Structure 1
Amino acid sequence: MRGLTRLPALAGALLAAQSATAIQLDITDANSIKTAASTIAHGMMQYYTGNQTGGTPGLLPQPYYWWEAGAMFGSLIDYWYYTGDSTYNDVVSQALLFQTGPDADFMPPNQTKSEGNDDQGFWGMAAMSAAEVKFPNPSPSQPQWLALAQAVFNSQALRWDNTSCAGGLKWQIFTFNTGYNYKNSISNGCFFNLAARLGYYTKNQTYLDWAEREWEWVESVGLISPIYQVFDGTNDDLNCSQLNHLQWSYNAGVYLLGASVMWNQTTGATQATWEARVRGLLTATSVFFQNNIMFEVACEPSNNCDTDQQSFKAYLSRWMAASSKVAPFITDLIALQLQTSAKAAAASCSGGNDGVTCGTKWTVGAWDNTWGVGQQMNALEVIQGLLIDSVPGPVSNTTGGISVGNPAAGTGGDTNPGAPTGRISTGDRAGAGILTAGILVALLGGAWWMIA
């Protein structure tokens, strides 16, 4: 297994060898795309130890946080959906079910010490994807994919906070966590994304109403600008009167898919409004492309992307492709960007001791001597997404959906979301989120020069 600590020592040899091998990709050939995706997925799973003796199913080793594991298993659901390869299905199911927690809502005791709404949201969106693509169901005695997504949505709806800013979700769930007073785009975006997709799947208008409410709130505080830029977050201690103007690719992506689903589920003037929002979001994503190659504008140019940020391109790629299945009018608008990015991502997968390890910067045309779960996931999602036209769109409960839901899931254990719902061990890992406490300090301190 490729180890995180071995690679630096081998860097010289790896750089010398990188030209000898690389991911070969013909974007017009489905078999070539599937082979490339298989190679990249295999490399990504070399970092996962949760299914090994002594490991905890669903967890990645340090430095990876819990949320990124949920995102990774979401990418493997996509992998099966696009390629039909079931190699990782059992591992994915084991991980998702192990991390559901005692209330089957992705609030496991090993994470609740510092779990945020966005962290829970990524696991919930993975379960939602499983329901939408008819990923093999768990046994009837286990939580079901749709019910898990509903549990995340319901538990977060209980946390909707009207005490400041006239609504919205806080980043953190519990008062004792740094960032509790930060209302950020990704936490609210995950909730919006889930609400729209649950509305699509169940045909329950209540979910769609929540999605509309969430969008209107995000716009009202300026987290989505008049030209559809999606900014990072805002401090509710200041009643959301100031914004952190950092833009991250996954924030744009999470709203893009939700808005595309809302376009699909509306008609008339309302649908026209959602179409304008989808088109606006797509136009604003141009900040994340350089010569049609995706890059993380807030950190790649300065070479300071942290472990979380190394994976953000995966989600923009994932949600751009998925959006085209529910809002087909965007297909031609995104094709060149995704195809060009996929070719650039494949070129970056030319390093490591295997010659096919993927790097961070796709804009350099080669491996950039970086590696990790995020780098693999980025390349996997943009490359396998090239198969989007060859797979069916998401199902619903009226078009062949097979996952069993529970509309009341997640409503029983979180009536006081400002306090922990279970016993917390002092040995719990620091939770995941888009920002570590240190970065949050920077955002609320030194980075406030970006705030208007």
Structure 2
Amino acid sequence: MRPFAPATRQSWMGLLASALLGTSVVGALEMDIEDGDSIRKVAKQVATNMMSYYTGMNPGDNPGNLPDPYYWWEAGAMFNSLIDYWFYTGDDTWNDITIQGLLWQAGDNKAFMPNNQSKTEGNDDQAFWAFAAMSAAERNFPNPPDDQPQWLEMAQAVFNTQAPRWDNSSCGGGLRWQIFTWNNGYNYKNTISTGGFFNLASRLAKYTGNKTYADWAEKAWDWTADVGFMTHDYKFMDGASDLTECKPINKIEWTYNAGVYLLGAANMYNLTEDSKWKERTQKIVDSTGKFFSHDPPNVMYERACETVNTCMVDQRSFKGYLARWMAQTTQMAPFTYDQIMKRLKASGMAAAKTCTGGVNNNVCGLRWVDEKWDKTKDFGQQMAALEVIQANLISRVAAPVTKDDGGTSKGNPNAGTKPPKTVPPGLDYAITTGDKAGAGILTVLTLIGIGGSCGWLIWD
């Protein structure tokens, strides 16, 4: 924290100007991007402000929910950032809150489909909660009690609910934006929903070694390219209506669409060592250059909305996910390290310079390119700043584990699916055609008997 300048060293004119303008001299978060302790210190201050928005751990509140105007999915993203924060810094301040929130929101089927979210939950929303569970498994985050759902199990449950939603009825496949028909956007197929599924499948393939996940990842990638949501030069468009067979395509580009495919491709490269996945990973890294400024150089910005001041609540957090997934890509595809870290270092330093607002001088602005607080505050942009700052610790931590390489999270390949019907012992004999015919005759006789016994009531 930069100290206040002593009054004896300020001009009386400066003091008078501050008084007249109703402003005060504020400190800035000073961060040495090459010093791990310095990064951790700043990350703690930024995370502390981020968690000031969350009240789910309070008595009478709903664990795992953020207050309005923040949607349910962003809480899942928050817990992912806290898992990463713990892994990067070793600080377990918010571990219990994270475990509580994830378990509470897992729902009866362990797939993050709680009943109270059916009016708003989309495939992309569900995926962000799955990312948190997957990160917990990959980072060996403290496991839940044995009688509770486990991290890998939750991620598998989400996959098992999303794979059957692959929709071949229009556009040749893909996932719809929304899960339920009554929600606006059900007829929209978008990149982040299919991209979330691709990201999750690729990471499950890497963690478990199960080829089924890898096959689905290939399918999701191919469909994204075939439908045109990903262009030949690796631009990721937003999506399109399935009522018109996904034509025309909404060509707006968001940082997190590129990011969600980047980490998926990097995992597929790490798993297969196939040159095609190396090329794809590299080309996505190259294409994300559009999201980094020239002046100051290499600072990330959400170019679809920041430049025209139209970023809405969700969009204020998007940069954080690209930062998160870029950092993790350097571990899955080390050949990207130099190119990515150049951008993360510049963006992390710029983001920290915006975190000078509020009474504790730790409120972060939206526009990192300004390198100063822009007088705005929002949960999403606070989380995004945390993500890009702590991402600069990636070279100081181990790579993600797998089930065969230190992973402790227990899985369940059938999680999220409907359990088979159980038959009491003694009744599990085979039913023949004759049995069915006999049952039909008995049903008819029973109905005749009911009709006869009740006929006097009708007649009367």
- Give the TM-score taking structure 2 as reference length: 0.85
Q: CA deviation at 1:13?
A: 11
Q: Distance in 2 between matches of 1:15 and 1:295?
A: 31
Q: CA deviation at 1:53?
A: 2.1
Task: Kindly indicate whether residue 45 of structure 2 is the aligned counterpart of residue 39 of structure 1.
Answer: yes
Q: Distance in 2 between matches of 1:86 and 1:98?
A: 19
**Offset from partner CA, 1:115-171 (integer Å, 9 cap, x none):** 100000000010000000000000001000000000001100010000011110000
Secondary structure in 2 aligned to 1:320?
helix
Aligned to 1:435: none
Secondary structure in 1 aligned to 2:240?
strand
Q: Distance in 1 between matches of 2:86 and 2:307?
A: 33
Task: Kindly indicate whether residue 63 of structure 2 is the aligned counterpart of residue 60 of structure 1.
Answer: no
Task: Kindly indicate whether residue 210 of structure 2 is the aligned counterpart of residue 204 of structure 1.
Answer: yes
Secondary structure in 2 aligned to 1:244?
coil
Q: Distance in 2 between matches of 1:67 and 1:215?
A: 23
Give the counterpart of 2:275 among 262, 272, 293.
272
Amino acid at match of 1:27: I
Q: CA deviation at 1:21?
A: 1.0
Give the counterpart of 2:178 among 169, 172, 175.
172
For residues 13-162 of structure 1, the aligned pairs below 5 Å read: 16-17=23-24, 19-162=25-168
**Offset from partner CA, 1:88-108 (integer Å, 9 cap, x none):** 000000000000111111000
Query: Per the alignment, do residues 366 and 408 of structure 1 end up closer, same or farther by CA in structure 2, a change over 3 Å counting?
Result: same
Q: Distance in 2 between matches of 1:154 and 1:263?
A: 23
Larger RCO of the pair (alpha carbons < 8 Å, separation 6+): 1
Query: Per the alignment, do residues 69 and 205 of structure 1 end up closer, same or farther by CA in structure 2, a change over 3 Å counting?
Result: same
Task: Kindly indicate whether residue 288 of structure 2 is the aligned counterpart of residue 288 of structure 1.
Answer: no
Aligned to 1:386: 392
Task: Kindly indicate whether residue 341 of structure 2 is the aligned counterpart of residue 335 of structure 1.
Answer: yes
Aligned to 1:217: 223
Secondary structure in 1 aligned to 2:388?
helix
Compute the RMSD of aligned alpha carbons: 1.5
Give the total of aligned pairs.
399
Secondary structure in 1 aligned to 2:265?
helix
Amino acid at match of 1:177: N
Secondary structure in 2 aligned to 1:230?
coil
Q: Distance in 2 between matches of 1:49 and 1:223?
A: 38
Q: CA deviation at 1:376?
A: 1.2
Give the counterpart of 1:344 among 347, 350, 363.
350
Q: CA deviation at 1:245?
A: 0.3
Amino acid at match of 2:119: K
Secondary structure in 2 aligned to 1:293?
strand
Q: Distance in 2 between matches of 1:281 and 1:355?
A: 36
Q: CA deviation at 1:16?
A: 2.8
Q: CA deviation at 1:365?
A: 1.4
Is contact 1:15–1:369 with CA below 8 Å preserved after alignment? no
Q: Distance in 2 between matches of 1:188 and 1:363?
A: 31
Q: Distance in 1 between matches of 2:310 and 2:35?
A: 35
**Unpaired segments of 5 or more residues in structure 2?**
1-18, 420-460
Say which is worse superposed, 284-293 or 42-51, in terms of deviation.
284-293
Q: CA deviation at 1:14?
A: 11
Task: Kindly indicate whether residue 401 of structure 2 is the aligned counterpart of residue 398 of structure 1.
Answer: no
Q: Distance in 1 between matches of 2:204 and 2:277?
A: 17
Is contact 1:164–1:236 with CA below 8 Å preserved after alignment? yes
Aligned to 2:190: 184
Amino acid at match of 2:249: L
Q: Distance in 2 between matches of 1:44 and 1:382?
A: 14
Q: Distance in 2 between matches of 1:266 and 1:151?
A: 24
Secondary structure in 2 aligned to 1:183?
strand
Task: Kindly indicate whether residue 376 of structure 2 is the aligned counterpart of residue 373 of structure 1.
Answer: no
Give the counterpart of 1:262 among 268, 274, 284.
268
Q: CA deviation at 1:353?
A: 2.1
Aligned to 1:440: none
Query: Per the alignment, do residues 143 and 350 of structure 1 end up closer, same or farther by CA in structure 2, a change over 3 Å counting?
Result: same
Q: CA deviation at 1:114?
A: 2.3
Is contact 1:79–1:384 with CA below 8 Å preserved after alignment? yes
Task: Kindly indicate whether residue 200 of structure 2 is the aligned counterpart of residue 194 of structure 1.
Answer: yes
**Offset from partner CA, 1:38-92 (integer Å, 9 cap, x none):** 0000000000011112210000000000000000010000000100100000000
Amino acid at match of 2:81: S
Q: Distance in 2 between matches of 1:16 and 1:134?
A: 46
Secondary structure in 2 aligned to 1:290?
strand
Query: Per the alignment, do residues 103 and 23 of structure 1 end up closer, same or farther by CA in structure 2, a change over 3 Å counting?
Result: same
Q: Distance in 2 between matches of 1:122 and 1:81?
A: 18
Q: Distance in 1 between matches of 2:333 and 2:43?
A: 25
**Offset from partner CA, 1:200-233 (integer Å, 9 cap, x none):** 0000011011000000000000111000000001
Secondary structure in 1 aligned to 2:189?
strand
**Aligned structure 1 segments of 4 or more residues deviating by more than 4 angstroms:** 12-15
Is contact 1:234–1:242 with CA below 8 Å preserved after alignment? yes
For residues 302-341 of structure 1, the aligned pairs below 5 Å read: 302-341=308-347
Q: CA deviation at 1:323?
A: 0.6
Q: CA deviation at 1:15?
A: 8.6
**Unpaired segments of 5 or more residues in structure 1?**
1-11, 414-452
Is contact 1:14–1:352 with CA below 8 Å preserved after alignment? no
Secondary structure in 1 aligned to 2:352?
helix
Aligned to 1:444: none
Q: Distance in 2 between matches of 1:32 and 1:380?
A: 14
